[in-house]
Structures are given as structure tokens and as C-alpha cells.
């Protein structure tokens, strides 16, 4: 029995060594790439490492936040919700170049809507990084006139007019109840559940067979070209980086966005990137291969051939992850006290 046990142990160790024998896995890790967290405790650990503060997660907060995420009455018109621009069925985006909001208003800076999937793992929120947490980010679109156009006071008035919401907020937030901060906090708690593990994560964890030969070849090109200099970490992006480092972006004049005060721009996550066209902050490029070649010129100062771009794109498609099942919630019925929509 003892010999059998030792033999089995040796087989398990050998299998483990085989899984981790691929030098590309170590190379990816050495370049700062990391697998997604598997649960909320691991999410907390990643956030702590990034220095991002977040309120304690609870399932009750997330369930309330899910309702609010789909709640169109948080907009002045009563027809726009968070899901309008960050559609969970469209890769967490809206599939158009520039976001469209209240009264069919195009984003005044011609900014593209980033994906909400895995957004909790971004070190910065918004293209100019002006928010450090999802809760702070959630407030912006609600109040912004070209987006949902609802001042904080009106947002609270709308939600507080619905008894079902009032009861939920009291159970979760106690005497504070419905406040604008708590509305944003609940939405953020739902959004932090939108993690999309992919085959690439299994690869990083040691399963060499999780990626095809072509995908591994694409990853090698991705690393060799220096793409991981900006697209790194658990989200392959999400940090503030200098833009137009080596050349001028050919659509730089579309919109007036120039980054933050130092010209820094949030590097978008590459997770699910095959589903989130169009690309760049102003949504000017629709082809993933074209976006890869443009990044080579603008950021790295190199020419990426069509063949190389296709190899990288093949790898990037492996980052398309499994989406969590989200059942559209039934929302409370409006009351006589609910402010009427304004078109």
C-alpha cells in the first residue's frame, strides 16, 4: 500500500511538472500577466494590492445593485440605465463609437464606452482616470447631462419613492437607507461580480493545453513586440499610461480628448477585446487587427505586419471569457411619489 501511494504521488508530481513545463507560461508571468481572481475574497486581495478601496462585499448588495444597474428611472428620461452603454449582452459595451445619452446626445468628447466586465480590476476608472473606484465611477454617468442627466438629489428622490427599494436599502445600509453614495455602492458591488475567466487563465495556472498552438504563438508575438509593457496585470490593462509615445494616433483629432492633466490615458483591458469593437478612446477603429497595428506605430514605434497582427489577434481572442449568468430583474412599480420622466 505504501509503495502504491508513493508511486501515485510520483505520478501526480510528474503531471504537475508537465503542466508547468511550458516556458511561455513563466515568460507571460515574468511580463506581469496574471490570472483572474476566482472569488470575491480573491478580488479583495487584488484590490488591496492595487491600493483600491472598496466597501465590504455582500450578495445582498450585489442583488440590489443588479436592479439599480438595469434601473432606467435613474435617468431623467426614464429610458436609460447603466446597461444602455454597458450592455452585458454586448461584451459590456454599446457597440458604437461614442456613447449616446439623454436627448440622443453624443458624448461631447466623442468618448467610447469601456467594457464593464472585469472593470473592478482596473486601477483607474474613466479614460482620464479621474475615479479610483467603481462606486465613484457609477456616480458620474448618472449625474452627467449628456448621459443619464439625473442630479444626485433627484436620483435619491426617485429610488426613495419606491417602497421595495427603501426596505432593501434599510436592510443593507441601516439607518442611512437610500443615499446617493449607497446607490453607487450597490451598483459597484454588482459590477464586481462581472468577472469573466477564460482559457488564458487556465494557461497561466499551468495548463499548457488550455491554449492552442496558434494562440500560444500569438502570445509569444504579443510579448516579443512589447505589448505587455502597458497591457499587463490581472486585467491586461486598467492603469494610466502615456499615449502617443512613439507616434501620432491617426484619428487623434476625432473629439477633443487629450488624457488627464499629464496626457495620461487609461489603458483599456484586453479581456473580451474581440467583443468590444470599436477601439481606442474615440472608437475610431473597428478592426482588431487594425487596432493592433496602430498601437504598434503609436505606442511602440514599430511596424507590426498583417501576419503578426493576425497572430496577436488569435491570442487576444483566447481572452474572451465565460460571462456570469445575469437574469434580468423585475423592478419595483412606480408610485404617485415617483418623479415623472423628463424627455
Q: Was 85 annotated as part of a binding site?
A: yes
**Active site residue: 2, 143, 147, 308, which one?**
147
How far is residue 272's CA from residue 196's CA, in Å, rounded to a whole number?
8
Q: Was 50 annotated as part of a binding site?
A: no
Q: Supply the DSSP string of 36-67, one letter for each residue.
A: PPSSHHHHHHHHHHHT---PPP-HHHHHHHHH
CB contact at 8 A, 331 and 338: no
Q: Rounded to 5 degrees, what angle do the CA atoms 120, 156, 176 make?
A: 80
User: 106 an active-site residue?
Assistant: no
Unique residue bearing C-alpha cell 449568468? 325
H/E segment holding residue 100: strand 100-101
CB contact at 8 A, 45 and 57: no
Q: Was 110 annotated as part of a binding site?
A: no
> Which among 230, 183, 236 is positioned nearest to 65, based on CA atoms?
183
Q: Was 231 annotated as part of a binding site?
A: yes
Q: Supply the DSSP string of 162-176, one letter for each residue.
A: -HHHHHHHHHHHGGG
Q: Was 86 annotated as part of a binding site?
A: yes
Q: Was 281 annotated as part of a binding site?
A: no
When computed from its CA atoms, the radius of gyration of the chain, rounded to whole angstroms, is: 22
Unique residue bearing C-alpha cell 450597490? 186
| Other Cβ atoms within 10 Å of 334 Cβ, number | 15
Q: Residue 207, preceding bond cis, omega within 30 degrees?
A: no
How far is residue 216's CA from residue 236's CA, in Å, rounded to a whole number?
16
How far is residue 207's CA from residue 18's CA, in Å, rounded to a whole number?
9
User: What residues form DSSP beta bridges with 125?
Assistant: 131
Q: Was 15 annotated as part of a binding site?
A: no
Annotated binding site for heme c: 82, 85-86, 102, 227, 230-231, 295
Annotated binding site: 82, 85-86, 102, 227, 230-231, 295
By annotation, the residues acting in catalysis are: 147
Amino acid at each position: 500500500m505504501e509503495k502504491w501511494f508513493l508511486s501515485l504521488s510520483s505520478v501526480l508530481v510528474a503531471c504537475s511538472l508537465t503542466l508547468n513545463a511550458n516556458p511561455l507560461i513563466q515568460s507571460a508571468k515574468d511580463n506581469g500577466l496574471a490570472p483572474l481572481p476566482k472569488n470575491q475574497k480573491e478580488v479583495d486581495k487584488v484590490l488591496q494590492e492595487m491600493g483600491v478601496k472598496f466597501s465590504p462585499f455582500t450578495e445582498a448588495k450585489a442583488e440590489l445593485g443588479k436592479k439599480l444597474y438595469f434601473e432606467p428611472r435613474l435617468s431623467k428620461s426614464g429610458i436609460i440605465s447603466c446597461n444602455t452603454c454597458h450592455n452585458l449582452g454586448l461584451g459590456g459595451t454599446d457597440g458604437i463609437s461614442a456613447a449616446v445619452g439623454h436627448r440622443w446626445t453624443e458624448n461631447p468628447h466623442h468618448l467610447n464606452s469601456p467594457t464593464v466586465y472585469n472593470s473592478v480590476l482596473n486601477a483607474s476608472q474613466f479614460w482620464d482616470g479621474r475615479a479610483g473606484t467603481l462606486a465613484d465611477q457609477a456616480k458620474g454617468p448618472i449625474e452627467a447631462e449628456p448621459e443619464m442627466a439625473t442630479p444626485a438629489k433627484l436620483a435619491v428622490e426617485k429610488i426613495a419613492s419606491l417602497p421595495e427599494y427603501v426596505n432593501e436599502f434599510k436592510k443593507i445600509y441601516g439607518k442611512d437607507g437610500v443615499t446617493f453614495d449607497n446607490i453607487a455602492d450597490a451598483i459597484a458591488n454588482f459590477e464586481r461580480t462581472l468577472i469573466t475567466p477564460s482559457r488564458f487563465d487556465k494557461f497561466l495556472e499551468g495548463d499548457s493545453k488550455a491554449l492552442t498552438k496558434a494562440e500560444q504563438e500569438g502570445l509569444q508575438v504579443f510579448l516579443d513586440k512589447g505589448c505587455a509593457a502597458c497591457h499587463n496585470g490581472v486585467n491586461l490593462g486598467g492603469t494610466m499610461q502615456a499615449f502617443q509615445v512613439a507616434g501620432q494616433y491617426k484619428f487623434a483629432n476625432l473629439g477633443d480628448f487629450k488624457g488627464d492633466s499629464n496626457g495620461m490615458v487609461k489603458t483599456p483591458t484586453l479581456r473580451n477585446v474581440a467583443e468590444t469593437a470599436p477601439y481606442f478612446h474615440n472608437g475610431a477603429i473597428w478592426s482588431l487587427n487594425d487596432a493592433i497595428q496602430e498601437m504598434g506605430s503609436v505606442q511602440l514605434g514599430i511596424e507590426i505586419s498583417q501576419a503578426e497582427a493576425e497572430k496577436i489577434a488569435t491570442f487576444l481572442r483566447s481572452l474572451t471569457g465565460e460571462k456570469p449568468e445575469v437574469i434580468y430583474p423585475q423592478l419595483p412599480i412606480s408610485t404617485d411619489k415617483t418623479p415623472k420622466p423628463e424627455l
